[in-house]
Structure 1
Amino acid sequence: MSEVVVRSGGSADSGIGLLACLDPLLREWLPRQRWFAGKGRPVTGFTLVGAAELLPVEGRLGLHHLLVRVHQGPSRPGDCYQLLIGSRAALPPRLAPALIGHVEQGALAGRTVYDALYDARPADVLLEALRSEARVGGLCFERDPGQEIRSDLVPRLVTSEQSNSSLVYGDTFILKLLRRIVPGVNPDLELPLALAREHCPRVPPPTAWLRAELDGEASVLAVLQPFVRGATDGWELALRELAKSEDFCGEARALGRATAEVHQALARALPTVTLGHLQMEALVDGMLERLESAARAVPLLLPYVPALRSAFTALSDLAEEGRTWTAQRIHGDLHLGQCLRAPGGEWSVIDFEGEPSKSLAERRLPQPPLRDIAGMLRSFDYAAHSAGAPAPEWAAACRAAYCTGYAQVSGVDPRTDPVLLRAYETDKAIYEVVYEARHRPDWLAVPMKAIARYTTPADRF
């Protein structure tokens, strides 16, 4: 493989000129991307946040890294997105899926531009920049000096649908590039680094990462971690075993143990707090607000609102009686798809970015570990209603096994706190109803069945 040279070039003015010539193409291309959050609203303009030239335009292949704020009307501030833009005189057929368009004017006039993550050469550039700890314009490529990064790893783009983009390098590393960038400390790097300090084997330790300044704060743009070779994600594995009518309780129990190990390591690594009456009132108020908002957005929920509200007011009543809870840093968006099972049977937990709909500040708040547990229990329920005929007995057995496994490590069975668990599961199901109504109407029946079950006294939890 030829040597990869990372170079810095281009002024702010040249970056603005580059964005101007890309403007009409990006307005058409961005809304079609899976990771673009502003679907359904027209793009009205762009603001350049940062630009760096990684390969010169004068060559056969040009490569630009852009941070672009996308405006979609005056009602809300524009979201900032990370773009890797490649440019060629002509696009080879293998890169057809990456096409953005043909530039008619400006610095790239006459060239074809495309999403560079589909191309091996730009992917090599990113890995070399991380390996050599390059500084390119406002980009800071950093790494753990204790981990080796080889330069001869063949890259490939992960093409499955996800809210970011990922490259796998020779089954050795996986590079997750965040697409929607927010300023501040990102838990997707913060928490795995904290877990690495605790030598927690359940989370691959970060090898390298990319940062840039956004709104005056250092912000994470990408994280390189060891690739779990031959692993199957928990969602795929659960559906496969369910389709064969195979028992999944052993895996669910192991997942519970893995979750407890991660929670214990996070509690050692980062501060914990006690949630009393005032803190729980704020938590319950948030749940009630989300319920009312969801009922307005999805009228199917309206008949269930009084019973759903009771799940939250019961928690408030418990707090008024003096009950307290311990809160700590948690995963924040735990479900079967965030877990990987290695061929030897070991489970890993990945993607600590948190729930995308919440602000970065909210995602970094200490929370009761039962929030993660509720997410996983809902995931078992989803799997049981997503493959052929519904299998509620399968879900119930997995839920019980998962809680048992968690208790084996933590010493505390999640089912011994039914009021908090019920509140979190209910809150999660309400979120799912809104999500499915907006994005996947064919799946709406899955969380609605849970809502009906949660509001039937004989069947609750």
Structure 2
Amino acid sequence: MTTSLQELLAGWITGQRWFAGKGRVIDDLSIEHRTDIQTGDPGLLHLVLSVRQGERRTRYQLLVGLRTSLPDRLKHVLIGSCDWEGRECSAYDAAHDAELTRILLEGMESFRRAGRLAFHRAPGIEIDTSLRSLVLTVEQSNTSLVYGDRYILKLFRQINAGLNPELEVITALAAAGSTHIARPYGWIETDLDAQPTTLAIMQEFLANANEGWALALTSVRDLYGSPPDVPAEEVGGDFAAEAYRLGVATAEVHRELAAAFPIGVVEPPEVKRMAERFRDRLDQAVAEVPQLAAHASVAHAAYDRLADLDRAVAVQRVHGDYHLGQVMRTPGDWVVLDFEGEPGQPLSERRGLDTPLRDVAGMLRSFDYAARHLLAGHPEAATLTGRADEWSARNRAAFLGGYSEGGGRISGDDAVLLRALELSKAVYEVVYEARNRPTWLPIPLAAFRSPR
């Protein structure tokens, strides 16, 4: 008996990097929506899958190619053989098939509609439909296709009904003339639960850019390899000037977001409730990770100071998941990527207003991680800890200096809020590392020992 496509997918999906339900049994998988983008051989289907695991139901999207004879170049993404409309076909992950993914470019260029799918092109641009795609292999939760050296198309694997925050933000900032985003070229959407739902976004591919995390690690390695009596500012790979420029760029993006979207304030009673939420998370973290107990008083003191603030806190749209892996250094300036926020959070929360200092706190934690994570398992970790502290302090200060220069506020009560946000982030990191990378646990624990 020939296996159905639905049955094939139930066995295949659990092995995919982007599948969020690993380790749990699939109770049901159904094809909620199907769109035939191209018929014939090869055929191209767009599927919205509904996967139920216990009480949790998650939607995924998949591009499925169908061929009667599968070329060797596509055998590594084979899903399986199935009966499709009266013929036996090889079904495979079509994101890896450049012959079929060109159809996505053509769809955006021509504003095509195919069943429930709508293809869009950004205003004032043209799309080169001759380019071939290549799948990037570094992502975990999404799949990105690079077309030549011009475009990058992010295909959201796990989808939630509604407008993706990243599309909303980059289109607004592009219209405002921001120089700190990758230019949007097009997007694909469908209708889920009576809401326009973002499936994919295509932006400028920054071919000549370097990731902030990689640049920071190069600097840290240079410092670790230098004589111990050479100050960080005299080491060849000093990062402080770039950290300063990144701070300026971050403040400018925050100003642009405040101009493009509604702003608001959080009144003192809600600030106190924020401090209480931080305390609750801290108590839960201590119960799970006993090593944190010795440092809990540092966090409680910071939360006490936050609760004592007797003024409103300005809130606006922010990045929401800001760190060195979300920024790229181009020949001209820093560019900010991935405005979709924390992928595991509901869209309504990711599109909500927050203090811009949450982004600042995230970047400060990222500097600490860059400085210390190479020490995990390092034979000279004890002697290099001081160098890590030096690098982190120098680049944190440079970033904050640039943020202030760019118009960001960090003084007085703002510093109290920033400190509480940073320690709250460190509490989250303690739990994450204890669960996933125990050897990295000293990195977030150091945040409670270091004076700020």
TM-score by length of 2: 0.89
Write the deviation string for residues 60-106 of structure 1: whole angstroms up to 9, x where unpaired. x1211011111111x33x11111111122343332233222233x45
Write the deviation string for residues 259-318 of structure 1: whole angstroms up to 9, x where unpaired. Answer: 011000011111111111122133223323333333444444344444433332321122
How far 1:36 sits from its partner (Å)? 1.6
Counterpart code for 1:341: R
Following superposition, the deviation at residue 428 of structure 1 comes to 1.1
The aligned amino acid for 2:350 is R
Instruction: Tell me which residue corresponds to 1:386.
Output: 373
Deviation at 1:377, TM superposition (A): 0.5
Deviations 1:93-124, CA, capped at 9 Å, x for gaps: 32233222233x45486322221111101210
Residue 277 (structure 1) aligns with: 268
Residue number in structure 2 paired with 1:45: 28
Partner of 1:146: 124
Q: Which residues in structure 2 correspond to 1:37-436 (within 5 Å)?
A: 37-56=20-39, 58-59=40-41, 61-73=42-54, 75-76=55-56, 78-103=57-82, 105=83, 107=85, 110-245=88-223, 246-318=237-309, 322-342=310-330, 344-388=331-375, 389=381, 390=385, 391-410=388-407, 412-413=409-410, 417-436=414-433
Structure 1, unpaired ranges of 5+: 1-17
The amino acid of 1:401's aligned partner reads: A
Q: Structure 1: which amino acid aligns with 2:304?
A: T
Secondary structure at the aligned position of 1:162 is classed as coil
Between stretches 280-289 and 154-163, larger displacement belongs to 280-289
Deviations 1:139-184 (A, max 9, x none): 1111123011011112111111332111111111111111111112
For residues 365 and 197 of structure 2, the distance between their equivalents in structure 1, rounded to whole angstroms, comes to 32
Amino acid in structure 1 at the alignment position of 2:74 = L
Q: State whether residues 21 and 108 of structure 1, in contact with CA within 8 Å, keep that contact through their aligned partners in structure 2.
A: no
Paired with 2:336 and 2:412, the residues of 1 have a C-alpha distance of 22
Q: Aligned partners of 1:297 and 1:140: how far apart in 2?
A: 46
Task: Name the CA distance, whole Å, in 1 between partners of 2:291 and 2:154.
Answer: 37
CA distance 1:413–1:420, shift in 2 (3 Å): closer
Instruction: Look up the equivalent residue of 2:80 and give its one-letter code.
Output: G
User: Cα deviations across residues 359-382 of structure 1 (Å, max 9, x unaligned)?
Assistant: 211111111110000000000111
Amino acid at match of 1:362: E
**Matched letter for residue 172 of structure 1:** R
State the distance in 1 between where 2:85 and 2:442 align: 51
Taking a change above 3 Å as real, the CA distance of residues 210 and 21 of structure 1, as seen in their structure-2 partners, is same
2:60 partner SS: strand
Per the TM alignment, residue 416 of structure 1 is displaced from its structure 2 partner at its CA by 6.5
Corresponding residue SS for 1:236: helix
> Which residue does the alignment assign to 2:8?
25
Whether the aligned pair in 1 keeps the contact of 2:6 and 2:30 (CA below 8 Å) is: no
* Distance in 1 between residues matched to 2:11 and 2:411, nearest whole Å: 48
User: Is residue 444 of structure 2 the alignment partner of residue 447 of structure 1?
Assistant: yes
In 2: Cα distance, 1:354 partner to 1:188 partner: 8
Whole-Å separation in 1 of the counterparts to 2:7 and 2:132: 33
Report how far residue 47 of structure 1 moved: 3.1
Q: Following the alignment from structure 2 to structure 1, what is the Cα–Cα distance between the partners of residues 78 and 325?
A: 29
3-state SS of the aligned residue for 2:318? coil
Other structure's SS at 1:244 match: helix
Give the SS at the match of 2:141: coil
2:406 is paired with a residue whose SS is helix
Q: Which residue does the alignment assign to 1:10?
A: none
Match of 1:8 in 2: none
Equivalent residue number for residue 6 of structure 1: none
Query: Kindly, what percent of the aligned residue pairs are identical?
Result: 45
CA pair 116-89 structure 1, distance change in 2 beyond 3 A? same
**In structure 1, distance between residues paired with 2:287 and 2:329:** 40
- In structure 2, list runs of 5 or more residues that go unmatched: 224-236, 376-380
Say which SS state the counterpart of residue 177 (structure 1) adopts: strand
SS in 1 for 2:126: coil
The 10-residue stretch of structure 1 (398-407 or 145-154) with the greater mean CA deviation from structure 2 = 145-154
What RMSD over aligned residues (CA atoms) do the two structures have, in Å? 2.1
Q: What's the TM-score, normalizing by structure 1?
A: 0.87
Report if aligned partners of 1:99, 1:115 keep a CA contact under 8 Å in 2.
Answer: yes
